[in-house]
Each structure stands twice: as structure tokens, then as C-alpha cells.
């Protein structure tokens, strides 16, 4: 086996175009020091949830040394030009029709031009750079080229951090799959293309004017020819079982009958067995093995001595049917599915469990650099793998934290990085990205982010909402506003006006900067509201909370117990052994 990997010697790609070197991975990766087996997951010190753009994270060599990850699954935005939305639950438990902007899957060259220029200058893999140049000649400065310019440096980094035995699964659709496969061939080598999985994700659409597009594509590449692989099986279909395993023994076990004759002449296997003459080529088994099989009740005897005994193969001892590359048995996590969390591009957990079981082993490191609401992470945790998830949307990070807590309680441990932990980093986030700062600040009080209908027209000033029940059928709303910049006395009057005009019971201002004394006085002057259901207790109508106080725990919402507006993930059982999992699943 010849391993030709790309050498990354400095913090970022330092090598110039044209330089290609051989890399020998470190003997022992620091990401593999945790021990063995499913116990690993409990130590959890390698599990990480990273908030932010994945490219700088992937280039961080402390977190991602060369050859440190066993399995990568990525489900990047598909260049579908669609706005994605996250659904929230109404008090009735049904998904709200109003939707919330999560991320925009649109690409333009103006955003990508610089990334592309850096890529062609710095990428040490000249073959890939040449391919990208050729694609650029063909695609010009199109949205497709912008999309590929975004993907290329990330795929090069993912290749760098994969172990020699590692694998990568790229989930995409026909919009860009043809170009992505070329890119992957360039980065991994065409010889390391393993297969293209076709996943039937939906049913035929009635209104389709062409062949209904019902599938996604998942490309499977390995870093070398020596990659982790646990052959995946699934249960035989009922039709197959009926046709093949029609016999039952006295214990009720289904079996089929197999030939016991030798395919080639074997003189030492020619003997009479229990009154049945030797077949012309002899038996397949020695006399001793025949006696053992007989003792175990594994031989079927015909009444007619001129006919041959046959071997019983029991259905419950068969691994099942080897799974091929066309997957029609995993239904999408649609709005009815129990695992649905409301994230628009959420993938079914069974899909990720199948990939993780086949291409990694307990204790291995699984990475999803576009992790969305955390399906890969959930599956990896459940199957006793270590994991790292990255997402640029704070809402996704927040959903994952809730999902892990709901599903695993205190059994899951992980390190969070990239999100603000103190005043300074909160201020930096507010400076860099007002929208993500707002999402993050709302998550500090578990508020539901604004939906698309909110905050427009008459619904002015709504950044987020808190809900509580006032009676069985009536819920009340508290308006939440977030300020990442300077605050002034007028802001309190505006908040109170929005609360009164839109019939909220109260309003909360989350502010980065400390409120002034007049602001506090104005908030106090707004008075209080009473909740009958919650023991006639009264609460401030307008409340100011500072980011600093929320972070250090000295401030919190003073209001009746809040409803959870997020869908809940189902609780998972304790991690089991891989063999038990495989047996149970397929
Ligand atoms: C198709 S969704 C993934 C859905 C995921 N497989 C699941 O089951 O929930 C793509 C995700 O990539 C994230 N994303 C897009 N660009 C990113 C970037 N540059 N860095 C990190 N995450 C990014 C988006 O926020 C979105 O959550």
C-alpha cells in the first residue's frame, strides 16, 4: 500500500503552489488516548461542540492535528438557493407556521473570490488547484463556482485530518454532486472512491414535470485502501424468509437446507454416513465434524436412504442481507417522525447510525463540520464514539445542546468552544455578527428566537419570546429585546410601548452594556403584573438583564415558570456494545 499524503508543516498552508511532499503521520494521535471501547464515551473529554465557521476551526492544529479523525460525515448546504427555516412549537404542541430564518443557502462570487484566491495560492495539492482553475474557466464567477470555492479548502483540510484508516462521507444532491465528486477525486485520489450511496429520502411528488427526484447522494471515500469497515447487514425481507426458510424445527426455529457434498473430489471425505452412501466427490465435512453437527441437531435426514442428508442453516444465526449502496429503507425525518426537532435539513438518525457503525469502531473520533441540529453527534454518542461537531449558526448549537441533554442527560460530556463565555467575547460576537449575538443572548434565558412573522409591521421590536401558561387554555407572552450596542433611557420607553401595543404581559431587555440609573428607574416605574395561576405572585413588567449578570448567574428572569418552545429529543438508553447494536438494528 502506498500512502501519499500532503504535508502541512506550519499553522496554515504555508507551502506554495507546486510543492507536494510525503507526510508520515505521528505514531500516536493525541485524540486517541482515552482508552478503548464504549467506556470512552463516558470520559467524553474529546467531545467538542464548536461554534463558528468550520474553516478556521479545521485549520486549528491543536484541535485537529494531522491524522486525528476516524470518520467524517458532512452534509453541507447544497447550493439550493433556498432559505431554511426552523420551526418552533406552539402551545398546542404543533409546529408553528411562522418560521425562523436559520441560514441562507445562497452563494455568490463576491463572497467567495477572496477564499478562492487564497486557496489557489496556498493549497499544496497542485492537482486540485489545477482542477479548480479548470472549473473556474468553465463556470466563471457563477454561484456554482462560489459554492465549490467554499467547499474545496474545507475538503482539503478534512483530508489532512483524517487518519490513514479513516473515511469521509459527503452528503449532497444532484445540484452540485458531479462537481463535488471531481473535487473529491482530486483530493482523495480516484482510487480511494469507495461508493456512491443513493438514499431515497422522499416519495414521488405528484406535481413533478420530470422524473421525480427522490434521492440524495452520499459519496464515500477512504483515505487509503486500508480503511475501517464493518460489513453492514439488514434483516431479510419477509418474502425472502418465506421463500428460503420455509422449514421449522421442533423448537420453532426457521431453517433452510444446504448441500453437504464436496464440490471437488476428496478421497478422505468419502464414507458412508448413517446409512447414506458417500456422494461421488465425498462429503464436505470430516466424520468428526459430521458427528458434531449431528449432535447439535444441524443435520436433516431424508426418509429415503438413496437421498442425501442436508445441513440445516438457521435463520436466527444468519447475519442477514448485506446492505448495498441503494438505501430505500430509511425514511426521512419528516414532521411526523418522533425524532424531528424542527431543523429544516435534519437527517434521520438511522442514516447516521448506519454510516457510523459501518465505518468506525467504538471509541473512534467522528467529525461533522456542518452539524446542523446534531444528528451525527447524537448517533456517535449513542454508539460509543467520540465526536466533534461544528456549526456556524448559534441556533443549531443551542438545539444540539438541548438534544444531547434530553437524550443522554448527565451521561454526555463535551467541551463547548467558540461561543462567548464572558463580557469580552460576547462583545466581540456582537461586533462580528449581530444576528448570531442575538441568538446567543436569547439562548441565555431559553427564549424562542423571533419567527419570520414577528418583528415586522405591527409586531415591532420582537427579538424573542418567552411563554407561560396562565390557565389550561391560555398562555401569556413576554417580549424579549436584545441590545448588543449602546443603550439609553429611550429604549425603556420603546420597550414598554411595544409591550403595551402588542398586549404582552411583560418585556425583558437583554443588554451587553450596563443600563444607566435612569433606565433602571424607568423600568421600575413600569409597574408589575400578577399571575393568578402561579399563586397570585407579581412580577416586574419591564426587566433589564445584563449579559454579564446572566453569564455569572447573578441575574435571571423574574417571571412565572416558562414553557419550553423547543421540540424535545427522546431519551436514549445507556450505550450498548457494538455487537448488540448491530444485532438490534439490522
Ligand atoms: C444541511 S445542514 C446540516 C444538517 C444536519 N446534517 C442535521 O441532521 O441536522 C448544514 C449546516 O451547515 C451549517 N453551515 C453552513 N456553513 C457553515 C460553515 N461555513 N461552517 C460551519 N457550519 C456551516 C449551517 O448552519 C447548517 O446548520
Q: What is the pLDDT of residue 23?
A: 26
Q: Using CA of residue 187, residue 190, residue 194, residue 198, what is the dihedral sign?
A: positive
Q: How far is the CA of 368 from the centre of ligand 1 (A)?
A: 9
Q: How far is the CA of 40 from the centre of ligand 1 (A)?
A: 26
Tell me, using a 6 A CB cutoff, whether residue 77 lines ligand 1.
yes
Q: What is the pLDDT of residue 4?
A: 27
| Non-local CB neighbours of 154 within 8 Å, separated by 6+ positions | 54, 55, 58, 74, 76, 369
The model's confidence at residue 20, banded by pLDDT at 50, 70 and 90, is: very low
d(CA 70, CA 84): 30
Within 189-245, residue ranges assigned H as helices are: 238-244
d(CA 49, CA 59): 16
286 pLDDT higher than 70: yes
> Phi and psi for 348 in degrees, rounded to 5?
-70, 145
Q: How far is the CA of 75 from the centre of ligand 1 (A)?
A: 7
Within 34-107, residue ranges assigned H as helices are: 40-43, 54-58
Q: How far is the CA of 169 from the centre of ligand 1 (A)?
A: 15
Q: What percent of the chain has pLDDT over 90?
A: 66
Residues 468-490 have pLDDT tens digits of 988 777 889 999 999 999 999 89
Q: What percent of the chain has pLDDT over 70?
A: 83
The model's confidence at residue 333, banded by pLDDT at 50, 70 and 90, is: low
Q: What is the pLDDT of residue 473?
A: 79
Ligand 1 atom at shortest distance from the alpha carbon of 393: 25
DSSP 204: P
What is the average pLDDT score of the chain? 85
Tell me, using a 6 A CB cutoff, whether residue 476 lines ligand 1.
no
Query: Which residue from 146, 143, 184, 178 is spatially nearest to 162, judged by alpha carbons?
Result: 184
Within 163-286, residue ranges assigned H as helices are: 177-188, 238-244
The model's confidence at residue 103, banded by pLDDT at 50, 70 and 90, is: low
Q: Are 47 and 386 in contact (CB under 8 A)?
A: yes
57 pLDDT higher than 60: yes
Q: How far is the CA of 235 from the centre of ligand 1 (A)?
A: 33
338 pLDDT higher than 80: no
Question: Which residue has better confidence, 393 or 104?
Answer: 393
Question: Which residue has better confidence, 79 or 321?
Answer: 321
98 pLDDT higher than 50: no
Q: How far is the CA of 538 from the centre of ligand 1 (A)?
A: 42
Q: What is the pLDDT of residue 586?
A: 46
Q: What is the pLDDT of residue 122?
A: 92
Q: What is the pLDDT of residue 250?
A: 87
Tell me, using a 6 A CB cutoff, whether residue 391 lines ligand 1.
yes
Mean predicted confidence (pLDDT) in 396-425: 94
d(CA 285, CA 119): 62
Tell me, using a 6 A CB cutoff, whether residue 390 lines ligand 1.
yes
DSSP 446: T
Q: How far is the CA of 178 from the centre of ligand 1 (A)?
A: 20
The model's confidence at residue 9, banded by pLDDT at 50, 70 and 90, is: very low
The grid cell for 317 is 444465526
Ligand 1: which of 173, 366, 371 to mutate, judged by most atoms within 8 Å of the beta carbon? 371
d(CA 311, CA 318): 14
Q: What is the pLDDT of residue 26?
A: 29
> Phi and psi for 199 in degrees, rounded to 5?
-105, 115
d(CA 492, CA 437): 21
Q: Are 276 and 305 in contact (CB under 8 A)?
A: yes
Ligand 1: which of 48, 55, 77, 344 to mutate, judged by most atoms within 8 Å of the beta carbon? 77
Q: How far is the CA of 72 from the centre of ligand 1 (A)?
A: 14
Ligand 1: which of 107, 155, 345, 356 to mutate, judged by most atoms within 8 Å of the beta carbon? 345
What are the strands, taking DSSP E only, across 403-560?
415-417, 448-449, 464-469, 475-483, 506-511, 528-531, 537-540, 542-546
Q: What is the pLDDT of residue 475?
A: 87
Mean predicted confidence (pLDDT) in 35-43: 36
Q: Are 36 and 75 in contact (CB under 8 A)?
A: no
299-335 burial, b for 16+ CB within 10 Å, e for fewer?
bbeeeeeeebbbbbbbbeebeeeebeeebeebebbee
Tell me, using a 6 A CB cutoff, whether residue 53 lines ligand 1.
yes
Q: How far is the CA of 154 from the centre of ligand 1 (A)?
A: 13
Edge-to-edge strands of the sheet including 193-200? 326-327, 193-200, 215-222, 162-172, 69-74, 365-368, 386-391, 48-51, 415-417
d(CA 400, CA 372): 8
Mean predicted confidence (pLDDT) in 411-440: 93
154 pLDDT higher than 90: yes
87 pLDDT higher than 90: no
The model's confidence at residue 208, banded by pLDDT at 50, 70 and 90, is: low
Tell me, using a 6 A CB cutoff, whether residue 147 lines ligand 1.
no
Q: What is the pLDDT of residue 13?
A: 29
270 burial via Cβ count (<10 Å: 0-12, 13-18, 19+): middle
d(CA 382, CA 376): 10
557 pLDDT higher than 90: yes
Q: Residue 322: how many CA atoms within 13 Å on its side-chain side?
A: 5
Tell me, using a 6 A CB cutoff, whether residue 47 lines ligand 1.
no
The grid cell for 81 is 438557493
The grid cell for 91 is 402551545
d(CA 492, CA 148): 47
Q: How far is the CA of 570 from the centre of ligand 1 (A)?
A: 22
Q: How far is the CA of 17 from the centre of ligand 1 (A)?
A: 30
Instruction: Flag the least confident range among 244-248, 351-355, 360-364, 456-460.
Output: 456-460
Q: What is the pLDDT of residue 565?
A: 75
Highest mean pLDDT (candidates 9-13, 64-68, 88-92, 465-469): 64-68
Tell me, using a 6 A CB cutoff, whether residue 510 lines ligand 1.
no
Nearest CA to ligand 1 atom 22: 391
Tell me, using a 6 A CB cutoff, whether residue 347 lines ligand 1.
yes
The secondary structure of 325-388 as a DSSP string is: SEE-S-----TTSTT--S-TTPPPHHHHHHHHHHH--TT-EEEETT-TTTHHHHHHHHTT-EEE
Residues 492-535 have pLDDT tens digits of 999 999 999 999 999 999 999 999 999 999 999 999 998 887 77
Ligand 1 atom at shortest distance from the alpha carbon of 341: 9
16 pLDDT higher than 80: no
d(CA 221, CA 433): 35
| Non-local CB neighbours of 456 within 8 Å, separated by 6+ positions | none
Residues 174-186 have pLDDT tens digits of 889 999 999 999 9
Q: Are 146 and 114 in contact (CB under 8 A)?
A: no
Nearest CA to ligand 1 atom 27: 372
Mean predicted confidence (pLDDT) in 536-546: 93
Q: Are 159 and 170 in contact (CB under 8 A)?
A: no
Q: What is the pLDDT of residue 290?
A: 96
Q: What is the pLDDT of residue 292?
A: 96
Question: Which residue has better confidence, 98 or 19?
Answer: 98
Q: How far is the CA of 369 from the centre of ligand 1 (A)?
A: 7
Q: Are 333 and 374 in contact (CB under 8 A)?
A: no
Tell me, using a 6 A CB cutoff, whether residue 375 lines ligand 1.
yes
The secondary structure of 554-579 as a DSSP string is: S----SSPPP--SPPPPPPPPP--HH
Q: What is the pLDDT of residue 339?
A: 74
Instruction: Flag the least confident range among 55-69, 216-230, 551-565.
Output: 551-565
Q: How far is the CA of 76 from the centre of ligand 1 (A)?
A: 6
Tell me, using a 6 A CB cutoff, whether residue 51 lines ligand 1.
no
Q: How far is the CA of 51 from the centre of ligand 1 (A)?
A: 11
Nearest CA to ligand 1 atom 26: 372
585 pLDDT higher than 90: no
Instruction: Flag the least confident range among 68-82, 251-265, 332-346.
Output: 332-346
Q: How many CB atoms lie within 10 A of CB 133?
A: 12
Amino acid at each position: 500500500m502506498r500512502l501519499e499524503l500532503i504535508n502541512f508543516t506550519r499553522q496554515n498552508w504555508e507551502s506554495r503552489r507546486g510543492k507536494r511532499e510525503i507526510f508520515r503521520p505521528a505514531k500516536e494521535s493525541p485524540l486517541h488516548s482515552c482508552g478503548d471501547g464504549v467506556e470512552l464515551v463516558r470520559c467524553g473529554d474529546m467531545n467538542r461542540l464548536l461554534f463558528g465557521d468550520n474553516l478556521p476551526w479545521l485549520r486549528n492544529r491543536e484541535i485537529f492535528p494531522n491524522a486525528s479523525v476516524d470518520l467524517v460525515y458532512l452534509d453541507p448546504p447544497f447550493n439550493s438557493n433556498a432559505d431554511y427555516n426552523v420551526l418552533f412549537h406552539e402551545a398546542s404542541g404543533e409546529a408553528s407556521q411562522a418560521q425562523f430564518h436559520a441560514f441562507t443557502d445562497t452563494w455568490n462570487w463576491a463572497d467567495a473570490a477572496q477564499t478562492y484566491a487564497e486557496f489557489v495560492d496556498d493549497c499544496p495539492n497542485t492537482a486540485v488547484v489545477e482542477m479548480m482553475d479548470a472549473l473556474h474557466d468553465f463556470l466563471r464567477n457563477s454561484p456554482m463556482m462560489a459554492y465549490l470555492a467554499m467547499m474545496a479548502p474545507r475538503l482539503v483540510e478534512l483530508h489532512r485530518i483524517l487518519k490513514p484508516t479513516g473515511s469521509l462521507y459527503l452528503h449532497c444532491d444532484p445540484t452540485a454532486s458531479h462537481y463535488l465528486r471531481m473535487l473529491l477525486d482530486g483530493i482523495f485520489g480516484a482510487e480511494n472512491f469507495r461508493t456512491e450511496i443513493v438514499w431515497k429520502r422522499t416519495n414521488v411528488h405528484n406535481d413533478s414535470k420530470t422524473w421525480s427526484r427522490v434521492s440524495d447522494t452520499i459519496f464515500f471515500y477512504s483515505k487509503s485502501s486500508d480503511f475501517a469497515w464493518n460489513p453492514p447487514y439488514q434483516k431479510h425481507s419477509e418474502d425472502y424468509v418465506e421463500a428460503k426458510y420455509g422449514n421449522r424445527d421442533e423448537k420453532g426455529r426457521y431453517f433452510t437446507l444446504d448441500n453437504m457434498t464436496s464440490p471437488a473430489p476428496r478421497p478422505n471425505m468419502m464414507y458412508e454416513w448413517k446409512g447414506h452412501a458417500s456422494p461421488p466427490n465425498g462429503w464436505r465435512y470430516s466424520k468428526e465434524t459430521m458427528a458434531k453437527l449431528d449432535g447439535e441437531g444441524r443435520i436433516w435426514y431424508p426418509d429415503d436412504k438413496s437421498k442425501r442428508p442436508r445441513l440445516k442453516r438457521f435463520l436466527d444465526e444468519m447475519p442477514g442481507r448485506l446492505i448495498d449502496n441503494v438505501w430505500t429503507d430509511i425514511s426521512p425525518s419528516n414532521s411526523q417522525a418522533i425524532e424531528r426537532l424542527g431543523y429544516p435539513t435534519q437527517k434521520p438518525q438511522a442514516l447516521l447510525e448506519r454510516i457510523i457503525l459501518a465505518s468506525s469502531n467504538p471509541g473512534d473520533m467522528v467529525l461533522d463540520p456542518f452539524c446542523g441540529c446534531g444528528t451525527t453527534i447524537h448517533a456517535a454518542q449513542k454508539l460509543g464514539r467520540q465526536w466533534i461537531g461544528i456549526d456556524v449558526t448559534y441556533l443549531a448549537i443551542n438545539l444540539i445542546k438541548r438534544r444531547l441533554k434530553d437524550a443522554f442527560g448527565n451521561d454526555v460530556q463535551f467541551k463547548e468552544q467558540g461561543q462567548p463565555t464572558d463580557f469580552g467575547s460576547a462583545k466581540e460576537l456582537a461586533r462580528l455578527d449581530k444576528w448570531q449575538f442575538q441568538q446567543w443572548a436569547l439562548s441565555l434565558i431559553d427564549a424562542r428566537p423571533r419567527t419570520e412573522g414577528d418583528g415586522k409591521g405591527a409586531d415591532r421590536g420582537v427579538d424573542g419570546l418567552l411563554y407561560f401558561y396562565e390557565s389550561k387554555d391560555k398562555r401569556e407572552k413576554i417580549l424579549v429585546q436584545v441590545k448588543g450596542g449602546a443603550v439609553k433611557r429611550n429604549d425603556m420607553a420603546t420597550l414598554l410601548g411595544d409591550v403595551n401595543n402588542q398586549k404582552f404581559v411583560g418585556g425583558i431587555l437583554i443588554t451587553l452594556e450596563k443600563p444607566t440609573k435612569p433606565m433602571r428607574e424607568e423600568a421600575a416605574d413600569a409597574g408589575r403584573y400578577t399571575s393568578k395561576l402561579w399563586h397570585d405572585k407579581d412580577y416586574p413588567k419591564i426587566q433589564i438583564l445584563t449579559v454579564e449578570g446572566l453569564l455569572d448567574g447573578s441575574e435571571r428572569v423574574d417571571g412565572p415558570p416558562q414553557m419550553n418552545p423547543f421540540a424535545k429529543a427522546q431519551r436514549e438508553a445507556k450505550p450498548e456494545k457494538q455487537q448488540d447494536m448491530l444485532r438490534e438494528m439490522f
